[in-house]
Amino acid sequence: MTDRTTYVSLAGVRRRGWTDAMVRDLLGTPDVQGRDPRRWSLAPVRLYLLARVETVERTPEFAETSALSRARSSAAGAYAERRRAAVLTAIRAEPIEVPRLPGPELERRAVRHRRLLGARSPGAPEPSGAPSGALVRWQVSYLRHALSRYETLLDGLYGETGRGEAERLLRRRLYEAIGVAYPSLARECRRRIAVEG
């Protein structure tokens, strides 16, 4: 069995500031590779001699590669932040145009939308006999769906780089616009803003 105090795993090397490319280029093949006897995993355990890792960390090549990696990471982070700020600005500036429909037409479309989505469960009330609160929720859902074209404003935001913040801002703006266009739905819109964030 390998003495684990003299070896460091790939995760341990990463914690020391190495990237996968740096491990591949500067360390190369692991000193020990195999299955972890303590738990079953598809990924093999890769261990590197700690002395070899420390030796490479003292080389000029490591210092140069590490600095270059930090610079790339910083540049990528700056680009992502600029993109996030641009998307948030676009969402704040974009005029939201809510379709204006007469009350009976909005109700009819909301009920049809509800049926098309197949959202009715076996015990759910028929749309014609639905309580007024359900009909209000359906109308807000229909209008929210009708405004889904505004989600293209989120294009270019991936992962956690501001995507959640931009989605919350867009959702809030859409519900606020629905509430302004249809004052009878404003209460449900405020409820959804509070619940959905």
Question: How do residues 66-106 score in pLDDT, each as one tens digit?
Answer: 888 888 877 877 877 888 888 888 899 999 999 999 999 99
String of DSSP letters for 74-107 = HHHHHHHHHHHHHHHHHHHHSPP------HHHHH
Instruction: Encode pLDDT of 179-191 as tens digits.
Output: 999 999 999 999 9
Whole-number Å distance between alpha carbons of 49 and 30: 8
Q: Which residues contact 193 (CB under 8 A, 6 or more apart)?
A: 171, 172, 175, 176
